[in-house]
Structure 1
Amino acid sequence: MTDVTGNHQARVRIKDLLLRAYIGIKEEEINNQQDVLINVCLTYDATDAINENEISAALNYRTITKQIIHHVDGNRFALLERLTHEVLSIVMEHTAVQWAQVEIDKPHALRYAESVSVCLEAHR
């Protein structure tokens, strides 16, 4: 095996996290939960995780996912933009995260379209 030295930037993807929330401003949306599909992509320096091969040295993306689920599932949001911002804020609370992008789809929100989505990103 070839030894690759230096810093190792890891790209982590949380794909197709399907949750239900009250999202929108119309009466039908306020009274009925809808599916939201969340995708997160983030980067962090995984050098210690690679070298130590220990969970304590890695970014715990399971914890991030649980925080997103707790914040979104069953809760109320008026705008998809606000929900996306709040999920991005949860991800960026983890100081190891150097860059993150969050895209949230609201399936079947528009007639004739599979979904509408909002995508936001942040970096340190």
Structure 2
Amino acid sequence: MNDAVIKITNLRLRTYIGFNPEEQEKKQDVVINVEIHYPGHKASQEDNVDDALNYKVITKAIIDYVENGRFLLLEKLVAGVLDIARDHHWVRYAQVTIDKPHALRFADSVSLSLSYTANES
């Protein structure tokens, strides 16, 4: 059976992101998308919550990390969220994309993505 895939789509949060003085004084919007793959065959057959990843717990950890943090670089913010997404030993693959709306004058947003793949050993 294929992996179960959790998708957290367009989680809109505010944080301090950037290294320009105005960016360090005022929180900015970020839009977070997370995808997590894990073996969900047992959860889908047994209907037992202990056999599934708890996406509410993951989301609350992401919210806490983002809203209470200060980041100079989008890379650091994305890497931290990816660490949270891949924290459980069941996770086989995780990808995080974070958009920074209005970062460029003529663009809707700037985004950065990082991914993690578990070793198959």
Alignment equivalent of 1:51, drawn from 27, 39, 45? 45
Secondary structure of the equivalent of 1:113? coil
Normalised by the length of structure 2, the TM-score is 0.94
Alignment equivalent of 1:114, drawn from 83, 92, 108? 108
CA contact (8 A) 2:13 2:63 kept: yes
For 1:1-124, what aligned pairs fall within 5 Å after superposition? Answer: 7-124=1-118
State the aligned residue count. Answer: 118
Whole-angstrom CA distance in 2 between matches of 1:8 and 1:52 = 16
- The runs of at least 4 aligned residues of structure 1 exceeding 4 Å deviation read none
User: 1:119 deviation in Å?
Assistant: 0.3
Compute the RMSD of aligned alpha carbons: 0.8
* Sequence identity percentage: 47
Normalised by the length of structure 1, the TM-score is 0.92
Whole-angstrom CA distance in 1 between matches of 2:44 and 2:37 = 14
Secondary structure of the equivalent of 1:66? helix
Q: Which runs of 5+ in 1 are unaligned?
A: 1-6
Whole-angstrom CA distance in 2 between matches of 1:96 and 1:37 = 26
Secondary structure of the equivalent of 1:70? helix
Amino acid corresponding to residue 113 of structure 1 in structure 2? A
Whole-angstrom CA distance in 1 between matches of 2:69 and 2:83 = 16
Secondary structure of the equivalent of 2:45? helix
Whole-angstrom CA distance in 2 between matches of 1:122 and 1:61 = 17
Between Structure 1 and Structure 2, whose CA radius of gyration is higher? Answer: 1
